[in-house]
Structure 1
Amino acid sequence: TRSAYDIYSLLLKERIIFLGTAIDDQIANVIVAQLLYLDSENHQPISLYINSPGGVIYAGLAIYDTMKILKSPVSTIAVGFSGSMGTVILAAGSSGRRYALPHATVHMHPAGGGAKGYTEDVRIAYMEQERLENQLFYLMGKHSNHPPAEIAEMFRRDRFLNAAEAKDYGLVDEVLGDIDDLVALRATSPRMQPVGFRTAGSPDK
């Protein structure tokens, strides 16, 4: 709708990009174009808000690679739900600029997919899925300071983290807000400390 288009255009003028859907080629092309446009304007920080369940790995890696070639620092902010490929993008934000809102959920799992047809084609598809999974786990480890093998063990099945747990694991650098009322189903690490209350409209302002 026109109103929806206008609000995202207004945000773009403030160097704010919103990834609010599953990631496919069309969405990735828009995000890539917005990143390139803002970087061509100047090299001030860009804020990328993420509320996405993930999606197509190839499309997500297009966003990832574009973030990494920009001269502008990119802040990533998890709002609502950051899942799968969305979490890889979240963790890939510029150092010290990866955030989560207090009640954001951060999720990761092994690469999924399916194949049918001739046996050799199924085998090729399986090998490609395994390659992509290894690539994502390597990137997750790189940006969270964990060995890829540890990442593979951590996320061998669906794993959901609250904002404080995501910070504790190294997927984000800071939680923007009060985490005193967060609920966890398992014991938290002794390294996890409340970040206190912070008021901020945008982390880059």
Structure 2
Amino acid sequence: MPVDPRHDPMRWRPNPARPPEPWQPEPWQPGPVPPTPGDGGPGMPGWLEERLFDQRIVMLRGTLTPSTASGIAAALLTLDGGAHTGDPAPVQLHIASPGGDLVAAHTIIDVIDAMTGQVHAVVTSEAGGAVLAVLAAADRRAAYRHARFTLAEPRAAGLTGTADEVAAAAGQHLRELEEVVLRLVEATGQTRSRIEDDLAAGRRLSAAEAKDYGLIDRIIGTD
């Protein structure tokens, strides 16, 4: 004789003394945060950037762009606040950049010129193009023994627009390029004609040659 399912003793029934718990979603577990890509390679982890910032170190890494220049300028201005409280420690600008945007370089240069405290630049691997003008703007300049330097004329960004607009932009680029040349002349003691010739030729220098040239004051670890 079939058993009525309602009276089947094996049929599961909820325990009235322990009502079922409402469904809860699994708690969200954060996964690893991928590094922020940059022009010069993978970005640094946030904790490392904070540690460097606490040590008054600002990094210029990879190809210099307007966005990276804005971040570097903001960091320099923030650290310069210590000079107003009597903090004598200079800000260290560590450079590992083959070059980049000329306008971006002038953004950093203008901030360095306006700062109350000193900026000491250290070339950790390479410096070239427009970044050399940033290096020249620093109060003191050093490099590691195997750092390399490239004297190369910064190129103008893509010029678009009407003929008059292109001509105006080209004229502005030439004026900004002249400022780079004069900055390098002042920093190195070389003649203007030699700076212009070396920029046009894309001359490459070792750290020792850069010191003789006047681009840096000393080589770290050899003085």
> Same fold by TM (over 0.5)?
yes
Amino acid at match of 1:48: L
Q: Distance in 2 between matches of 1:91 and 1:10?
A: 26
Amino acid at match of 1:35: L
Aligned to 1:71: 116
Counterpart pick for 1:132 among 156, 172, 176: 176
Q: Distance in 2 between matches of 1:71 and 1:60?
A: 19
Q: TM-score, normalization: structure 1?
A: 0.79
Aligned to 1:56: 101
Aligned to 2:144: 101
Q: CA deviation at 1:117?
A: 4.8
Amino acid at match of 2:104: A
Aligned to 1:191: none
Q: Secondary structure at the match of 1:155?
A: helix
Q: Secondary structure at the match of 2:173?
A: helix
Q: CA deviation at 1:145?
A: 1.4
- Superposed CA deviations along residues 86-106 of structure 1, whole A, max 9, x for unmatched, are 211112211xx2101011111
Q: CA deviation at 1:43?
A: 4.0
Amino acid at match of 1:164: A
Amino acid at match of 1:32: A
Aligned to 1:110: 153
Counterpart pick for 1:27 among 50, 58, 68: 68
Alpha carbons of structure 1 residues 83 and 55: separation in structure 2 relative to 1, 3 Å: same
**Structure 1 unaligned blocks of 5 or more:** 178-196, 199-205
Between stretches 18-27 and 114-123, larger displacement belongs to 114-123
**Structure 2 unaligned blocks of 5 or more:** 1-34, 37-43
Q: Are 2:192 and 1:151 aligned?
A: no
- Superposed CA deviations along residues 104-141 of structure 1, whole A, max 9, x for unmatched, are 11112123134355433333232222222211111111
Aligned to 2:40: none
Which entry has the higher C-alpha Rg, 1 or 2?
A: 2
Q: Are 2:163 and 1:122 aligned?
A: no
Q: CA deviation at 1:69?
A: 1.6
Aligned to 2:7: none
8 Å contact 2:93–2:120 — kept in the other structure?
yes
Q: Distance in 2 between matches of 1:169 and 1:136?
A: 16
8 Å contact 1:55–1:84 — kept in the other structure?
yes
Q: Which has the higher contact order (CA 8 A, sep 6+)?
A: 1
Aligned to 2:20: none
Q: Distance in 1 between matches of 2:90 and 2:173?
A: 34
Q: Where does 1:190-201 land on structure 2 (aligned, <5 Å)? A: 197-198=222-223
Alpha carbons of structure 1 residues 8 and 159: separation in structure 2 relative to 1, 3 Å: same
Q: TM-score, normalization: structure 2?
A: 0.73
Q: CA deviation at 1:27?
A: 0.8
Q: Secondary structure at the match of 1:9?
A: helix
Q: Distance in 2 between matches of 1:170 and 1:57?
A: 21
Q: Secondary structure at the match of 1:75?
A: strand
Alpha carbons of structure 1 residues 67 and 117: separation in structure 2 relative to 1, 3 Å: closer
Q: Secondary structure at the match of 2:194?
A: helix
